[in-house]
Structure 1
Amino acid sequence: MNARKIALDVLIDIDRNNAYSNIALNKHFRGKDLDGRDQRFITELVYGVIENKIYLDYITGQLSKTKIDKIHPSVMNILRLGLYQIIYLDKVPSSAAVNESVNLTKKVQMRAAGFVNGLLRNYLRNRENLKTPIRQENPALFLSITYSHPQWLVEKWLDEFGLAFTEKLLKGNNAKPALTARVNTLKINKNELIDHLKKNDIEVADGKYVEEAIRFENMYSLEEVESFQKGYFQIQDESSMLVAHVLDPKPHDTVIDVCAAPGGKTTHMAQLMKNEGMIIARDIHDHKLKLIDRTAKRLGITIIKTQCYNAKDIDQTMIGKANRVLVDAPCSGLGIIRRKPEIKYNKNPDDLLKIVDLQLEILENASKYVTDNGYLVYSTCTITSEENIGVIQRFLSKNKDFIMVDINPLLPKAIRQTEKYLQLYPHVDDVDGFFICKLQKQIRP
């Protein structure tokens, strides 16, 4: 099985179907006899190309007499794969990168083999003479090409965060994230799980912030691991784990998770509740609810009741019925670019404007389910202020019966902040970019 051909198939799948990189990789790994080395190489190629696509295309644009938009998409991805190996992978000889790219082209677009060969060899001859944007003349363009982020997004972050912070953020977005998981304490304790994994030659370490978090070293296809199938752990980033701790659900509470899929936070809440009480987990897609049901069953959780329900609608039967409500809102996802790098190419400024109104609408509706003195948590996996504290400020300005609660006592000391809410950044905190804010409903006089 040719690893580079599989990497090409994954990249084409992502381009054609707007597929998430991790889902596309898993799909193309399934049913193939690939050892760990091949899986790691394919994964490195796919993520490397996506993370650096703007820069790789910039290089191609300087070397090709044919305009980029006229090059066949498959050939374009082969060029990206070839250039990525030459520029970034010391362990792959340049001659091998060129030859393998040409052989790959012969399999998918035979007539373009000469073009691919010529362009890659042209790069090897002229790489020292290629022009790059000058930082001082156009910082946004320089950062956009250097770190392969759309220029509009770079400009937005420059306005919001400044030059130094933005450059570190862009660099951090291209770094390899840790693979983390949550120990399912309903079935096993942390030390027992670590011992179990190490006996199976799986290297793990403690998480950074959350007690029940562990980090895997160089692991792929975790779903095939016996301890995963037995429900001993759930794959989840630590920033996501913090959400359940902030909501702080108690045994026998009634909790509503209005945007629950894929279920990581829902099942974590059930774990903190010791599987006692009720969690109503809602989503608009039946297939995603079935995923939550399967995950809950694997983890041994019985208190989750899934319901197909649109968070934009108000459920009159649940008004004032929930002790705690979670709104893990649909968002731009700009905090998880290092995990799903294709996100940065699939957004535009209009998307942000539209999603902010949706977030506020969902938060307004969800607030109606909260009992007096009950709690409402709003979270996103993004870092833009308008989607985060901006939504909260708009909500509080219209809902005087809610106040913001200081969540710092519920957080690890290492990430406590001066604000009552939490904003995490990948390059600062080494977790997914996340926002978490807790509100409490006051008793009406």
Structure 2
Amino acid sequence: MKAREIAFKVLCDIEDNNNYSNIAINKHFKNLEITNQDRGLATELIYGVVENKYYLDYIIDKLSKIKTQKLSTYVKILLRMGIYQIAFLDSISEYAAVNETVNLVKKYDKRSSGFVNAILRNVIRNKEDVLDINIDSKIMYLSTKYSYSPWMIKDWIKNFGEEFTEDLLEANNEKPSIYLRTNTLKITRDELINKLEQGGIKSFKVPTVEEAIRVENLKNIENNDLFKEGLFTIQDISSMIVGKVISPKEKSLVLDVCSAPGGKSTHLATLMNNTGKVVARDVFEHKLKLINSTVSRLGLTNVEVESFDASEIDNNSIDKFDYVLADVPCSGLGIIRRKPEIKYKAKAELKDLPSIQSKILYNASKYVKVGGILVYSTCTIQDVENISVINDFLKENDNFELVPIDEINVDLDNQDKGYLKIYPNIHGMDGFFISKLRRVR
């Protein structure tokens, strides 16, 4: 199967089943024997089409009498793919973009091949006019150009201002770097870099976190021998900073109440040098399997994986733990570069999150010993899910206080106040919020 057909099938899966692109890609790519070149093009097409959906549909609606929402899934996806190649991929000739797309239409919806051919040729003929966005409203213009639900643009302009918002939209369009966390129980960062470079993988030290490596051209990670040997795991810098902020002492008792997929739990276990115990909890069976598989691949013996719902109170855990992490379910608006579907979430989908987050934080706080540390984190940039949740919690729980964050060698705003706000456009990493609290009595 060729790259474009693979991309088409994955995009249909995402469209019809509301799947995240990374999950759909993993599912469809799993047992495929394809070249790295085809894998690269298919991935580029999938993410490119998902990231630019509103803009591509705007172009289709300009040229087609039948509007996008009335088109069949097959025709809509193939038009988006064809237009994306013409508008964004200089490496692909316009002839190939049209020809290959029309061949796929003939295979999957033959009677629409003339229609698709005409639209794509029209895009090429009137490229400048067709690709231009003529919308007066600033919010709708940005919503179309960058493909976001308009409410997000409106919300960000209100909270951050227009200039910051446009910077953020630009940054979210960039391809995210891939970062590895060295498994320091098995290898040093320098030794791992040497092994990666021997395998032809460009590797760079990351100053922010001493076990972190940025890599280029690392393909097909799950089949990489160094990965299988447990010498590293994939984790973004922001997520690693959470572990550094907690910075657990050896032989401690640690609880991660929302652990999946296990990156932070296994980091904490590694920072404790495989001593003490990290209790890693989650509520879904498939996620617990994922945590277990990472724990065993990394050779950790100090992690206990348990099934428990963080929104329920566990009376057996009260006052028991030295450190508790509540990395709560959130809107994910800090990781749009990695999960572009988040851009299309409806505002109503997120309205219950702060109350869920507050409940989990409250429960988690009950498990902290006097003098112990509670860390609350999210991968979103929304204050309503972040500092507002913390401020509300502190009003009701005066036995906790925010404590300065001095465990990381990076200058982030509010470190001295006990919380970090990380933005992709300012810090070049996933958007995150991390706050550190101590139980004082």
> Which deviations, in whole Å up to 9, do the C-alpha atoms of 1:275-295 show, x marking residues without a partner?
100111110112211111111
Helix, strand or coil for the counterpart of 1:97?
helix
Match in the other structure for 2:47: 47
Match in the other structure for 2:115: 115
For 1:376 and 1:202, locate their aligned partners in 2 and report how far apart those are by CA, in whole Å: 38
Q: Does 1:10 align with 2:45?
A: no
Q: 1:424 to 1:192 in 2, by over 3 A?
A: same
Helix, strand or coil for the counterpart of 1:167?
helix
For 1:196 and 1:226, locate their aligned partners in 2 and report how far apart those are by CA, in whole Å: 10
For 1:79 and 1:219, locate their aligned partners in 2 and report how far apart those are by CA, in whole Å: 31
Asked if the contact 1:149/1:170 (under 8 Å) is kept, the reply is no
Asked if the contact 2:324/2:364 (under 8 Å) is kept, the reply is yes
Helix, strand or coil for the counterpart of 1:11?
helix
Match in the other structure for 2:396: 398
Counterpart amino acid of residue 2 in structure 1: K
Q: Does 1:384 align with 2:382?
A: yes
Asked if the contact 1:426/1:432 (under 8 Å) is kept, the reply is yes
User: Offset of 1:394 from its aligned partner?
Assistant: 0.8
User: Offset of 1:417 from its aligned partner?
Assistant: 4.1
Counterpart amino acid of residue 150 in structure 2: Q
User: Offset of 1:416 from its aligned partner?
Assistant: 5.2
User: Offset of 1:410 from its aligned partner?
Assistant: 1.2
Counterpart amino acid of residue 371 in structure 1: K
Match in the other structure for 1:178: 177
Helix, strand or coil for the counterpart of 1:44?
helix
Helix, strand or coil for the counterpart of 1:386?
helix
TM normalised by structure 1 equals 0.97
Match in the other structure for 1:142: 141
Counterpart amino acid of residue 229 in structure 2: K
Asked if the contact 2:256/2:324 (under 8 Å) is kept, the reply is yes
User: Offset of 1:126 from its aligned partner?
Assistant: 2.0
Counterpart amino acid of residue 247 in structure 1: I
Q: Does 1:79 align with 2:79?
A: yes
Match in the other structure for 2:270: 271
For 2:253 and 2:131, locate their aligned partners in 1 and report how far apart those are by CA, in whole Å: 61
Q: 1:3 to 1:301 in 2, by over 3 A?
A: same
Helix, strand or coil for the counterpart of 1:331?
coil
Alignment of 1:9-28 (within 5 A): 9-28=9-28
Alignment of 1:26-425 (within 5 A): 26-130=26-130, 132-133=132-133, 137-345=136-344, 347-407=345-405, 409-415=406-412, 417=414, 419-425=417-423
Asked if the contact 1:383/1:434 (under 8 Å) is kept, the reply is yes
Structure 1 segments unaligned to the other structure (5+ residues) = none
Helix, strand or coil for the counterpart of 1:209?
coil
Q: 1:111 to 1:305 in 2, by over 3 A?
A: same
User: Offset of 1:208 from its aligned partner?
Assistant: 4.5
User: Offset of 1:352 from its aligned partner?
Assistant: 2.3
TM normalised by structure 2 equals 0.97
Q: 2:424 aligns with which of 423, 426, 429?
A: 426
Q: 1:416 to 1:323 in 2, by over 3 A?
A: same
For 1:186 and 1:416, locate their aligned partners in 2 and report how far apart those are by CA, in whole Å: 32
Counterpart amino acid of residue 397 in structure 2: N
Asked if the contact 2:184/2:270 (under 8 Å) is kept, the reply is yes
For 2:413 and 2:209, locate their aligned partners in 1 and report how far apart those are by CA, in whole Å: 13
User: Offset of 1:132 from its aligned partner?
Assistant: 4.8
Which is worse superposed, 225-234 or 18-27? Answer: 18-27
Asked if the contact 1:335/1:381 (under 8 Å) is kept, the reply is yes
For 2:20 and 2:275, locate their aligned partners in 1 and report how far apart those are by CA, in whole Å: 35
User: Offset of 1:221 from its aligned partner?
Assistant: 1.2
Asked if the contact 1:209/1:414 (under 8 Å) is kept, the reply is no
Structure 2 segments unaligned to the other structure (5+ residues) = none
Which is worse superposed, 364-373 or 196-205? Answer: 196-205
> Which deviations, in whole Å up to 9, do the C-alpha atoms of 1:378-407 show, x marking residues without a partner?
000000010000110111111011101111
Q: 1:389 to 1:270 in 2, by over 3 A?
A: same
Asked if the contact 2:149/2:346 (under 8 Å) is kept, the reply is no
Counterpart amino acid of residue 104 in structure 2: L
Counterpart amino acid of residue 235 in structure 2: Q
Counterpart amino acid of residue 43 in structure 2: T
Counterpart amino acid of residue 214 in structure 1: I
> Which deviations, in whole Å up to 9, do the C-alpha atoms of 1:167-191 show, x marking residues without a partner?
0101111110001110000000011
Asked if the contact 1:321/1:370 (under 8 Å) is kept, the reply is yes
Helix, strand or coil for the counterpart of 1:204?
strand
For 2:388 and 2:284, locate their aligned partners in 1 and report how far apart those are by CA, in whole Å: 28
Aligned length: 440
Counterpart amino acid of residue 356 in structure 1: P
For 2:93 and 2:131, locate their aligned partners in 1 and report how far apart those are by CA, in whole Å: 24
Q: 1:87 to 1:133 in 2, by over 3 A?
A: closer
Counterpart amino acid of residue 411 in structure 1: I
Q: 1:278 to 1:90 in 2, by over 3 A?
A: same
> Which deviations, in whole Å up to 9, do the C-alpha atoms of 1:351-386 show, x marking residues without a partner?
222011000000001100000011100000000010
For 2:174 and 2:128, locate their aligned partners in 1 and report how far apart those are by CA, in whole Å: 25
For 1:339 and 1:258, locate their aligned partners in 2 and report how far apart those are by CA, in whole Å: 23
Counterpart amino acid of residue 102 in structure 2: V
For 1:153 and 1:74, locate their aligned partners in 2 and report how far apart those are by CA, in whole Å: 29
Helix, strand or coil for the counterpart of 2:274?
coil
